[in-house]
Amino acid sequence: MRLRFCNPSGATAFRVTVEGHRMEVTHADGRPVEPVPVDQLTIGMGERYDVVVLADRPGALADRRRSGGVSCGGGRRCVAIRWDRGKEVLHQLSRAVGRTGASPDRPVRTGDRPAGATGPDANARPLRRSKTVCGRSTARLTPNAEILSIVQGEVVRVVLVNHSMMLHPMHLHGHFFRTGDVLKDTLIVPAHMGRAEFVFLADNPGRWFFHCHIAYHLEAGMAREIRYIG
């Protein structure tokens, strides 16, 4: 059974498990990866993951999505998956559920997933480097927002440092970038001086938006423009 998880929320990250089963990640942000078995996924705002679940334990189970990591109530929601005469039927539930007792022991991490597509080597020597501060406090969310000017054909490395108490899912328009061994277009920067970085090939001329996917952070100005010049 193949499931596609998308997080369209404005201010909530989700930790996802499938009760009693492991998941095998096959795609991240729509790009194929070498399959990776996991017990848990943390999905930031704007991120997408495809997983495959082997239906080898008949009976009722639940895909349990627990919110956390950003301002939220911390409740649990679930999608019940039931076997009915050999056919999987998904029942979307909008109610909160209690604790599962599950303790996922291997959350997926970016560096786990070799990319299934070409892209700039994360270790490549960049022609241009940019450092972005994601916010020094919850009261000052705006990063250094000057325009990042680049030239077509350059390899660009972006280093992100999070000075705030909240994670930030940062999304780049118009490109896929390489982080670790995977190609993505959205990357979570951990809270409390967390760091993340990526490289991308400047191969799509234009003026592109780079921003936090938390809606009110974006409204507050946590964004910058990446502009091709020359």
Closest CA to 61 of 20, 116, 109: 20
Beta carbons of 7 and 188 less than 8 angstroms apart: no
Beta carbons of 212 and 162 less than 8 angstroms apart: no
pLDDT (tens digit per residue) in 122-141: 666 777 778 777 765 443 44
- pLDDT score of 40 more than 70: yes
Query: Which pLDDT does position 25 carry in this prediction?
Result: 92
Give the pLDDT mean for 209-224.
Answer: 89
pLDDT above 90 as % of the chain: 34
User: How many whole angstroms separate alpha carbon 17 and alpha carbon 103?
Assistant: 10
Query: Which pLDDT does position 116 carry in this prediction?
Result: 45
| Start-end of H helices in the chain | 215-220
Handedness of CA 30, 31, 32, 37 (dihedral sign): negative
**Domains in the chain, CATH or no CATH each:** 2-112 (2.60.40.420), 128-228 (2.60.40.420)
Query: Which pLDDT does position 14 carry in this prediction?
Result: 87
**Direct distance between the N- and C-terminal alpha carbons of the chain, in angstroms, rounded to an integer:** 49
Q: Which two tokens stand for residue 179?
A: 């982080």
Closest CA to 81 of 99, 73, 93: 93
Q: In which band, very low, low, confident or very high, does the pLDDT at 58 lie, cut at 50, 70 and 90?
A: low
